[in-house]
Amino acid sequence: MKYSIWFIGCLVIFSLIGCFDDKGTYDYKDLNEPIWNTGDGEPVINVTCRAGEVAKFRASPFFAWKGDSLKRAGEVRYEWKLDGVVIGEEADFDIDTYELMEKIGMTQFSKSGTNGTFSIIEKESGIAYMVRAYITISPTNTSGDWAILSKKGGNAKLSYVKCARNQETRKLEFTLLEDLFFENYNQDIPGTPLALAMSNYSTNIGSLGSVTVITDQVGYEFNCENMLKVSELQDDFTSLPANFKPIDRTDCYESMTTSGVHSFIAMEDGSLYRRQMSMNNLGGDFMSIPLAADEKGYKITKFGQPRWGFGNVPCYDEANNRMLTILFYRSGEPGPFPGFPGGTEYQLSKLATTEPAAGMPTEGWCPVWSFPEGIEFLHASYAGSVSGGGWFTYYDQMNVFYNDKDGNTRWGVYTLDQTTGQTVNNAGNKDVAFPGNKLTKESVILTSGKVNGTMLNYILYSNGSEIRYVNKQENQDYPFVTLEDATDRVTYMTYTVYLDYEYLIVGTEQGKLLFYNVQEMKANPELLEEFDLGETIISAKELSSYSSGDRY
């Protein structure tokens, strides 16, 4: 046994000596890997293209070589793959979008992009250096684009702005398609334009929803996929009310629910009509009987700005000088957890008063349930959400701006009970002097209530040709933009929500449509684009499948 162990030990030692003495007969190759220049985070090349256009695949701006780049370029080949199919063998190439769709067997558009790859492959060794490519193929019209309503003599003009990010420079580029209705039908939209209403989730019309143009003569609804007229508002009523003269519209919907879109129309006499679509928006008409609030009645001619989803809509009651709310709540019996009804549940809505509960101390609150006589209402908007004190219970907060009887501008914030619509106690409730300049009926006010959003801290407002902003944390007012023409006036402002408040759109009385970079709030921001539509801009609405933040 002793000799066996000795023999095995000798074999191991001689084997090791042989390894040490091995001079090596292997070929070693220095890898000259590309240096990827795709920005921070995971390396990815984004390609976005639209139906009917040329898709531009560009990889050259996103990699470089050490040493002789021309020599290295001759040693490699390139390969783009999507859904397992090779779609290109050049670093940079163009392809018609429909041809691309045919190559990969794509028969319908997706709301999200598709993961593919871009590879640099060494010709000699076959070694591949790969990076993810994210390809988005969308219809001709897509999320992030804009519908624009403006005046055209005594009629209305509907235009369209495409927004795309240049793949190489990563800068936004805007393209104007002017007066689409005239281009398609060789006639104008009759009447003075009053409102533009976006219903992003009206999938009964199209995958991108619909947009409605309201004038003092007509209410036309358009399919956002192609901006073709599909109906008139009176077609959506089972029985047309005698007072049918729409002047504003708003739509609410939240994905992943058993409910369809809730649509509301305000008539010239101040009454509100509702349509509640069935699940998947398969059916539903506007009621011929208006919504009721209480025995006082109401007059609402304009909707305030809510949040996305089934967000409560603030409404000023002109007849009774108070705020009302289109309040959303869920059906069903009380469930095992607060805020979650039991059984099958559906989204319901009602017009609710904001009167606080009897005996509730209201000192320091904004008296939205009964404003003092002589005030001038200016604007109402979603201000954010706060905890309702229970599990998964949240209350909406609303901004309200008004001038008191002495002409001083005030800013109020009030909190709504999600179940009753009553104004409730919260540390955020207030009624204070507005930190900016005096506002008028012609002032345009823009706020954001998106939690942790970049614009939550700012209130933008205009007076004439000047735009200023209030920093809420500092309670301080700052200059922002002054139009080049001092005789011009700001008539509309809105943020992009789809691109996370990256830019601001400003419309003016003389027809200027301006796009400003607001990634940093400062005076004289970068002007990204300017169009001239000739006459007053009434409204701009964004096509978007995005479901978080504000609904402008």
Which CATH number fits the domain that encloses residue 95? 2.60.40.10
Q: Which domain holds residue 101?
A: 35-138
Give the distance, in angstroms, between the CA of residue 121 and the centroid of all CA atoms in the same chain. Answer: 40
Q: Is residue 458 domain-resident?
A: no
Residue closest to 83 by CA, chosen among 35, 22, 134, 124:
134
CA atoms within 13 A on the CB side of 545: 15
Q: Is residue 238 domain-resident?
A: no
Q: How far apart, in whole angstroms, are the C-alpha atoms of residue 126 and residue 106?
A: 30
Q: Is residue 194 domain-resident?
A: no
One digit per residue, the tens of pLDDT, for the chain of length 552 reads 444 454 455 454 545 444 445 555 555 566 789 999 887 778 899 998 888 889 999 999 999 998 888 999 999 999 999 989 999 999 999 999 999 999 999 988 876 788 999 999 999 999 999 999 999 898 889 999 999 999 999 999 999 999 998 877 889 999 999 999 999 999 999 999 999 999 988 888 888 899 999 999 999 999 999 999 999 999 999 899 999 999 999 999 887 667 889 999 999 999 999 999 887 777 788 999 999 999 999 999 999 999 998 999 999 999 999 999 999 988 765 555 555 555 567 789 999 999 999 989 999 999 999 999 999 999 999 999 888 776 767 899 999 999 999 999 999 999 999 889 999 999 899 999 999 999 999 999 999 998 888 899 999 999 999 999 999 999 999 999 999 999 999 999 999 999 999 999 999 999 999 999 999 999 999 999 999 999 999 999 999 866 678 999
The token pair at 143 is 């999320």
Residue closest to 49 by CA, chosen among 91, 82, 90, 89:
82
Q: How far apart, in whole angstroms, are the C-alpha atoms of residue 318 and residue 270?
A: 8
The token pair at 467 is 């735009």
Residue closest to 309 by CA, chosen among 369, 388, 256, 237:
256
Q: How far apart, in whole angstroms, are the C-alpha atoms of residue 268 and residue 243?
A: 8
DSSP sequence for 216-277? SS-EEEEETTTTEEEEEGGGGBSS--TT--EEEEEEEB-SSSS---EEEEEETTS-EEEEE-
Q: Is residue 380 domain-resident?
A: no
Cβ–Cβ < 8 Å for 195, 182 = no
**Angle at alpha carbon of residue 253, lines to 250 and 255, rounded to 5°:** 160
Residue closest to 534 by CA, chosen among 501, 551, 516, 510:
510
Cβ–Cβ < 8 Å for 57, 88 = yes
Q: Is residue 164 domain-resident?
A: no
Cβ–Cβ < 8 Å for 153, 166 = no
Cβ–Cβ < 8 Å for 374, 405 = yes
pLDDT score, position 20: 45
From the number of C-beta atoms within 10 Å of its C-beta (0-12, 13-18, 19+), residue 457 rates as middle
Q: How far apart, in whole angstroms, are the C-alpha atoms of residue 431 and residue 411?
A: 6
104 DSSP 8-state letter: H
H/E element, 15: helix 2-21
Residues in the chain: 552
pLDDT score, position 453: 81
Q: How far apart, in whole angstroms, are the C-alpha atoms of residue 402 and residue 408?
A: 8
Which residues are CB-contacts of 337 (< 8 A; sequence separation ≥ 6)? 391, 392
Per the DSSP assignment, residues forming a β-bridge with 114 are 135
Q: How far apart, in whole angstroms, are the C-alpha atoms of residue 192 and residue 214?
A: 9
pLDDT score, position 1: 45
Domain count, the chain: 1
The amino acid present at 277, given as its one-letter code, is: M
Cβ–Cβ < 8 Å for 111, 208 = no
pLDDT score, position 115: 93
Q: Is residue 442 domain-resident?
A: no
